Each structure stands twice: as C-alpha cells, then as structure tokens.
Structure 1
C-alpha cells in the first residue's frame, strides 16, 4: 500500500510526497520551502535515518515507523505558529483512535486525573502522544524565514508503528507492541483526514480556545504530581492546566501558579525522584 491522502485532505488542497528512505522529513520540507516550494504539502516516509526531536535529540525511527511532516507557508501570524503543535497532537490522537481501536492500553499516566481516562491516547505537554503512559509519538515544529519576508513551518510527527526505542530515560511503546496491526500508510491516511478538521477548528489561531479545550480533554497527568526541568533546574508541583496561550501551568506547594513556556515534563513516580 502506498502513502495517500484522505479524500478530505485532497479536496482541501493538500499534497503528499513519499520517500522510501529519507534523512529527515522536516529538513526536506524546510529545504523545499527555501527553494520556493508551496505549502500544504506532506512529506512522508517509513524510514527516516537522521530524524531529530526537541532540543536537538536524535529521534530513532525503525523501518516501518511513520515519519510525516506537514509544510505550511505563511499560515498564521508567526507568534501563533507555535500552537500548531497542539493542533498536530489532537489530529494524531484522533487518527490513532480511528486506526488502532484494538490496541491494548491498560493504564493511564502515573498520577494523572481521571478526566482523560476515557481517552485511550493521551497528550503530554508540549509535544508527545502517550499510550498507557508510554511515549508512542512525538511532534517537532521547526520554522524558517523566507526571502520574501514570509515564513515556513514544518510540523514533524514521528510515530512508533512497528518498533520503539528502548535505551531512553522514559517509557516508550509502539502500535505493534500494543497489539495493533495498523501500518504507517493506514495511519497517515487517517492523520491527513484528522488534520483537515482540526486545522479548520484552529482557524489560523482564531480557534485556539477550542483547540485548548479539546487538548485538555486528552491531557496526560492533569491534576497529578509533576516536575518540570527548566534550563537545568527542576520545579515541582501539580499540573493545574494549560493557559489561553497553551503554556503549562504548575501550582506549587504554596498554591502559586507558575506559567511555563518551555521545559521537560515528568509525571508521577518519575516526578517524585530526587533528580531527573
């Protein structure tokens, strides 16, 4: 089966380019934008050899996993572009619910609120998708300024379909490990469909409040103990919510609320450890 767009995505003007093997779908998308390529194009592959995650970390992608990047050009005001990661997380969650209904997911994130228990795939701020508390997918946004003073953003999504990394400091899983027979092509088809509806709701950032509400419904760890690493220091407290700009809101032991724009979040037993 080849990679293909859902009919809704094709009708909305999206395109797809697939690769047997690629270094990085994000890098390919940004390179295309700098060369004058149009936006609303998906770059997809089942084999990515030099993918990367947040803060320059390597993203290990086994052959058969899904690497997908959506290139958008001048889609919104530049400060709003960062919220596209939340759009991507919601779309990925919807795609997984549609394509992996038989996946074996027994428990949620350690220390989490029960409000998201009905959601089999949860979202971990700011950019991970979890199944049973283990990382299933990651999202990476990268942008570049173009010569005409416009900008392009690459929304990269990596999903552990057939295998997952094991030498990582956090639990990880794959659809295969969860008992799902879904393949990368089927998952991408559903993702391209879910993206259309979710991006329309976002509406260039004007619908961010609705995106925030949906994201909170899938939020992992809400109301639970949390530790956030910020520039090498650890801040502890309770995951209270995300604010109107989708910043992480932590309530410390004195009841004060701290708004966090960037950091590494850990829940439950990991958050209780002396050091992370």
Structure 2
C-alpha cells in the first residue's frame, strides 16, 4: 500500500512528498521551505539513514519504521512555535492509539496498549520510548518555517538509547508505516487546529497533561552537568516543565534529559 494522506488532510490542502529512502525528512522539509514552498506538506519515508533527534543524537529508521516531517509556514514568534511540539506529540499518540486498537481488534484481542507523552517531545508505550520528535524552525520570506519531525518505531527499535525503546511489533501490534501515517495526517489536522497558532495552547496543555508520563512522580533532569531533582508538578503556559524541589520551590526546566522513578533516585545516571 502506498503512502496517502487521510481524507481531512487532503481536503485541507496538505501536500505529500514520499521518499523510498531519505537521509532526513526534516532536512528535506526545511530545504523545500528555503526553495519557496509555503503550503503545508508532509515528507515521509520508511527508511531514514541520517535523521537527528534532540542534542544532535542520531535517529535512524530502518525500513518499515515511519520517519515523517510536516512543514507549516506560520506568522508566529519562535517562542510560540516551540509549543507546537506538544500538539505534535498528542497527534502521534492519538494515531498510535487508533491503529493499535484496530490491530488488536483484528487479531481478536481486547486489551488496549498504554501510551503516554513524555516531556518534552517523546511518546512512551508501557514506559518505553516508541516515538521521538524534533521541532525545528527557520525564518523564510513570508513567515517562520516550522518542521515537526516525528519518528516512530513500527517494526524495530534502537537498543542504545538513554530511555529503553520499543516498537509496535515488539508489542504484538502489526501495522504498516503507511497505515500509521494516514492516521497521523488526520490526527495532525485535529491537534494543529486546536493549537491554532498558539492561541489554543491552553487546551493543548490540558490534553497533554491528561496523557503525561510521570506527572506527580519523582523526576531527575540532567541539563549539561547539572541535575535537578524533585516532583514533576506540571508544565507552564510556555511548555516548561515545573519541578517541585525538596525545598518546595517550583523550578522551571526548559531543556534536559528526563528520568522518572528509580532512575531519578539514582541521580539520572
């Protein structure tokens, strides 16, 4: 089955560029914006060879996984564009719940999988990482080109990640990257609409917190050489994680590697 947009995404005028293999769908999307593309567009492949995650970590998608990037050219400030990452996490988490539920029903099962969003931009399945996301932005003529790169472990998961990873296949869910993408493109229309160029971030924040991993639990964040420990209290109106320290102070976190539970008690080592 070839890649195809969902009906709502096609009706909203989204483009679709499909690669048999790509170095990085984010790079392809940003290059398209630099060359004058202004309409929203998806860039997808089932095999990515030179993708990047946060902190320039490699994100390689072996054939059968889904590497996808959506380009939106917006008239918003970069600080507002940064909150779009939360809508992207909700979109892929919703798509995963949908396709996994359908796959379980087809197989005669009845139990739904447990997905959760992890600050700032991951999705977990049973506590293991199944999605990584990288949001990038660049000023172009006519606005800010924002690219949300979403990498999903469909048939295989890496073994050398700071957070243990898992694939849909590992979880007993047999779906194709193409089917997942169709669901994602539909879900993106919904959550991008709720986000509404940042004006709807209060609603996105509420929905994100309902699905958040580790909320109210011990957490340790490594940022550079510093480690901040406490309780994951909430996220604020800009999307920063707020950690309540042992002294009762709310510490805003803008970036870092997040560890929950027993790992947190060991100082995020």
Interval of TM-score (by shorter of Structure 1 and Structure 2):
over 0.9
What is the SS of the residue equivalent to 2:221? strand
What is the SS of the residue equivalent to 1:199? helix
User: Quick one: which of 218, 221, 231 aligns to 1:225?
Assistant: 218
Counterpart position of 1:211: 204
Residue 103 to residue 262, structure 1, CA distance change in 2 (3 Å): farther
For 1:119 and 1:257, locate their aligned partners in 2 and report how far apart those are by CA, in whole Å. Answer: 33
Residue 263 of structure 1: how far off its partner (Å)? 1.3
Counterpart position of 1:150: 143
For 1:219 and 1:82, locate their aligned partners in 2 and report how far apart those are by CA, in whole Å. Answer: 18
User: Quick one: which of 113, 121, 127 aligns to 1:127?
Assistant: 121
Greater Cα offset, 51-60 or 118-127: 118-127
What is the SS of the residue equivalent to 1:98? helix
Verify the 8 A CA contact 1:22 1:45 in the aligned structure 2.
Answer: yes
Counterpart position of 1:33: 33
Counterpart position of 2:108: none
For 1:179 and 1:38, locate their aligned partners in 2 and report how far apart those are by CA, in whole Å. Answer: 40
What is the SS of the residue equivalent to 2:28? helix
Alignment of 1:45-124 (within 5 A): 45-101=45-101, 120-124=114-118
Residue 102 of structure 1: how far off its partner (Å)? 6.7
Aligned residue-pair number: 262
Give structure 1 stretches of 5+ with no counterpart: 105-117
Verify the 8 A CA contact 1:20 1:46 in the aligned structure 2.
Answer: yes
Verify the 8 A CA contact 1:103 1:179 in the aligned structure 2.
Answer: no
Verify the 8 A CA contact 1:103 1:175 in the aligned structure 2.
Answer: no
What is the SS of the residue equivalent to 1:59? strand
Residue 39 of structure 1: how far off its partner (Å)? 3.2
Deviations 1:146-172 (A, max 9, x none): 2x3632111100000000001223211
Greater Cα offset, 162-171 or 211-220: 162-171
Verify the 8 A CA contact 1:15 1:42 in the aligned structure 2.
Answer: yes
Counterpart position of 1:22: 22
Residue 181 to residue 75, structure 1, CA distance change in 2 (3 Å): farther
What is the SS of the residue equivalent to 1:51? strand
Residue 119 of structure 1: how far off its partner (Å)? 7.9
Counterpart position of 2:236: 243
Residue 149 to residue 50, structure 1, CA distance change in 2 (3 Å): same
Matched, 1:258 2:251: yes
Decide which structure has greater strand share: 2
Residue 191 of structure 1: how far off its partner (Å)? 0.3
For 1:138 and 1:18, locate their aligned partners in 2 and report how far apart those are by CA, in whole Å. Answer: 20
Greater Cα offset, 82-91 or 71-80: 71-80
Verify the 8 A CA contact 1:49 1:61 in the aligned structure 2.
Answer: yes
Deviations 1:192-228 (A, max 9, x none): 0001111111111111000000000000000101001
Runs of 4+ in 1 over 4 A off after TM superposition: none
Verify the 8 A CA contact 2:100 2:113 in the aligned structure 1.
Answer: no
Residue 103 of structure 1: how far off its partner (Å)? 7.5
For 1:164 and 1:275, locate their aligned partners in 2 and report how far apart those are by CA, in whole Å. Answer: 22
For 1:139 and 1:243, locate their aligned partners in 2 and report how far apart those are by CA, in whole Å. Answer: 20
